């Protein structure tokens, strides 16, 4: 059987079974990042993400400066999803021989700028040659001992929150693919930037980790449907999503409407929004709202954790119950779409 017959989740599960880790590892393969013991009151987080030209980014749509920013953001997002603080990064990059040095410099300028924004030190790396541009970052982080937020802690009755807004990256990809000529289309311009320069919710993740009121958390890298399925599956719970409450930027609604799409599909299945989805005690609603007001970031309560027998479903704006399939972007089981 070849690898395209496997979904990414199944592949990771399979590989994790092969690579059992020693007992001192607090969390190995199977969450946003690994969690490693450290004797100084903090646990160490460790994650990596690889980006491939024409799979994860395209020079047809964006610049290498933007790809550099993105590789830091996607890794920082994994640290944020554990409630941690990003620390040190090493960057490997493969370049075709005839790439202009100016492009290389632009890539590293993006890396440097985004790293500075998140307080990350880029301390090393490797450069090699290849047919395609490949960028890999590995990032460490830290979190107060015992405060790392896993996927598996959601409890019945917990409220489900999501930061910022969703469907941004899918809208941006659509704008790159179909609205490229419309240079005076402000919504398309805005959406393209969402897609090409995603932000990680580093401060929100850190604050949620410190506050200790979050029972489970993921970053929305593969679409809300996929992330909520991961949380419910790891926690052995069901959930109800009020689809009407899913936050979307006005630009995303506009692009979806002009594309004849439902933005909720983009939120559920689009991926690469890098928002945080988390569950919290139902008694913490006020505290959560206060925390997000303090960091000036919107966060919306979009549902509730249910007993496992309830399954994972959404309530449509019309009041209909719709069961949600994991879906989301999978590298191997679906044709690549450049996202």
Least distance to a second copy, CB of residue 198, Å: 16
Query: Rule CB under 8 A: which of 6-25 touch a second copy?
Result: 6, 8, 11-12, 15, 18-19, 21-22, 24-25
Which tokens sit at 172? 């941006």
Segment contacting a second copy (CB under 8 A): 86-94, 255-263, 287-295, 317-325?
Answer: 86-94
336 forms part of the interface with a second copy (CB under 8 A): yes
Nearest-angstrom CA–CA distance, 57 and 29: 25
Angle, nearest 10°, between helix axes 64-80 and 202-211?
10
Closer to a second copy by Cβ: residue 6 or 61: 6
Closer to a second copy by Cβ: residue 111 or 166: 111
Closer to a second copy by Cβ: residue 46 or 281: 46
| Among 39, 260, 309, 318, interactor with a second copy by CB under 8 A | 39
Query: Rule CB under 8 A: which of 282-321 touch a second copy?
Result: none
Closer to a second copy by Cβ: residue 95 or 263: 95
Least distance to a second copy, CB of residue 332, Å: 6
Least distance to a second copy, CB of residue 72, Å: 12
Least distance to a second copy, CB of residue 69, Å: 14
Closer to a second copy by Cβ: residue 80 or 94: 94
Nearest-angstrom CA–CA distance, 339 and 337: 5
Least distance to a second copy, CB of residue 242, Å: 32
Query: How distant, in Å, are the alpha carbons of 24, 236, 280, 318 from that of 83?
Result: 20, 21, 13, 35
CB 232 within 8 A of CB 216: no
Which tokens sit at 7? 């979904």
Nearest-angstrom CA–CA distance, 163 and 50: 24
Query: Rule CB under 8 A: which of 90-129 touch a second copy?
Result: 90-95, 97-101, 104-105, 108-109, 111-112, 115, 121-129
Least distance to a second copy, CB of residue 23, Å: 10
| Among 13, 43, 51, 275, interactor with a second copy by CB under 8 A | 51
- For 79, left (φ over 0), alpha (ψ -120 to 50), or beta? alpha
Classify each residue of 54-67 as buried b or exposed e, where b means 16 or more C-beta atoms within 10 Å of its C-beta. Answer: eebbbeebbbbbbb
34 forms part of the interface with a second copy (CB under 8 A): yes
140 SS3 class = strand
Which tokens sit at 12? 């990771």
| Among 66, 77, 140, 165, interactor with a second copy by CB under 8 A | 140
Nearest-angstrom CA–CA distance, 137 and 122: 9
Least distance to a second copy, CB of residue 217, Å: 17
Tokens 């995603």, located at residue = 198
């Amino acid at each position: 059987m070849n690898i395209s017959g496997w979904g990414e989740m199944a592949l990771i599960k399979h590989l994790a079974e092969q690579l059992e880790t020693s007992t001192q590892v607090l969390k190995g393969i199977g969450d946003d990042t690994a969690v490693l013991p450290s004797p100084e009151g903090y646990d160490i987080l460790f994650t990596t993400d690889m980006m491939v030209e024409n799979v994860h980014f395209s020079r047809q749509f964006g610049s290498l400066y933007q790809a550099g920013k993105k590789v830091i953001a996607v890794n920082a997002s994994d640290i944020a999803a554990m409630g941690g603080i990003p620390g040190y990064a090493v960057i490997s990059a493969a370049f075709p021989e005839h790439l202009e040095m100016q492009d290389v410099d632009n890539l590293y300028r993006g890396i440097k700028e985004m790293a500075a924004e998140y307080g990350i030190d880029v301390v090393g790396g490797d450069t090699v040659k290849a047919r395609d541009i490949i960028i890999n970052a590995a990032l460490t982080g830290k979190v107060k001992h015992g405060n790392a937020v896993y996927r598996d802690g959601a409890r019945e009755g917990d409220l489900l929150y999501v930061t910022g807004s969703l469907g941004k990256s899918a809208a941006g990809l659509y704008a790159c693919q179909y609205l490229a000529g419309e240079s005076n289309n402000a919504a398309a311009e805005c959406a393209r930037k969402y897609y090409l320069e995603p932000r990680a919710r580093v401060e929100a993740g850190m604050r949620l980790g410190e506050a200790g009121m979050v029972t489970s958390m993921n970053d929305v890298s593969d679409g809300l449907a996929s992330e909520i399925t991961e949380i419910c599956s790891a926690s052995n719970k069901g959930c109800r999503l009020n689809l009407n409450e899913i936050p979307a930027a006005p630009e995303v609604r506009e692009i979806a409407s002009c594309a004849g799409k439902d933005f909720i599909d983009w939120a559920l299945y689009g991926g690469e929004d890098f928002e945080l989805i988390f569950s919290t005690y139902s008694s913490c609603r006020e505290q959560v709202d206060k925390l997000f007001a303090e960091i000036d970031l919107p966060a919306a309560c979009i549902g509730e954790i249910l007993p496992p027998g309830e399954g994972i479903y959404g309530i449509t704006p019309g009041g209909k119950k719709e069961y949600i399939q994991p879906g989301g972007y999978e590298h191997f089981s679906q044709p690549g779409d450049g996202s």
